[in-house]
Amino acid sequence: MYKKVVLLLAGGTLVGCATSSMDYSPPTPAAVPNTRSVSTDFEKSWDQLVRQLSSDFFVINNIDKSSRLINVSFSTSRPSEYVDCGSTLRKFSNARGEQVYNYVTADSAKFAVTNQNAAFNVSRETKLEGRVNIYVAPGKGGTDISVNTKYVFTVNAKIFGFDGSPVTVNPTTIDFSTKSPYTSPDLTCYARGTLESRILDMVM
């Protein structure tokens, strides 16, 4: 993803000896618990979930009690609360000195970069959306609950030459799920389990 953005940079202001570098550190894999068995009976568990989901930031798309399934969606401008995409360290040097940009890759950031003959200011804006399937069924002595989320992570880059001239870059979008991370040489993203635990905790 980052190499793609750099390759798309064209035009701008000649900067002579300005240089930039980028070091991406992927996240460490971690197990995400997404199932739970509670002693609360099915009817009470179902009612608790519907009530709590309705009062939270989720949008309820479908409720099918006969199929034991609830489907909700969500969106946030702070993806790092729910997913881990590692960290990025960037450095930009010119005649004025060196600037260091160290940021959580899942969240928005601003930095300067160069290509072979031009320098650019980049405003990188991220967002996270998703849909969650919640399965609720009677279990032994209570209720069994499982939560599976499909995450959609989008990066919009606004790029400007040092003279203020804009460069258009198409948004980059990836998707992954609770148990299936996204992995590539340039970007790796895992679910943190925060969202799954938030929903599982709604039933006491």
Element (H, E) at 131: strand 119-139
Distance CA 191, CA 57 (A): 18
* C-alpha 39: how far from chain center: 33
How much is the pLDDT for 56?
Answer: 96
Q: Report d(CA 44, CA 80) in Å as an integer.
A: 32
Which pLDDT belongs to residue 117? 72
> What is the rounded distance in angstroms from the CA atom of residue 28 to the CA atom of residue 26?
7
From first to last of its 204 residues, what are the pLDDT tens digits of the chain? 444 443 333 333 334 578 999 999 999 998 999 999 999 999 999 999 999 999 999 999 999 999 999 999 999 999 999 999 999 999 999 888 999 999 999 999 999 999 767 888 999 999 999 999 999 999 999 999 999 999 999 999 999 887 777 877 889 999 999 999 999 999 999 999 999 999 999 998
In our burial notation (b when 16+ CB lie closer than 10 A, e otherwise), range 16-49 reads eebebebebebbeeeebebebebebebeebbebb
Domain residue spans of the chain: 2-200
* Residue 134: burial class (beta carbons within 10 Å; 0-12, 13-18, 19+): buried
- Tell me if 101 sits within 8 A of 111, measured CB to CB: yes
| Encoded tokens for 134 | 């919640």
Q: What is the pTM of this model?
A: 0.87
CB 5 within 8 A of CB 169: yes
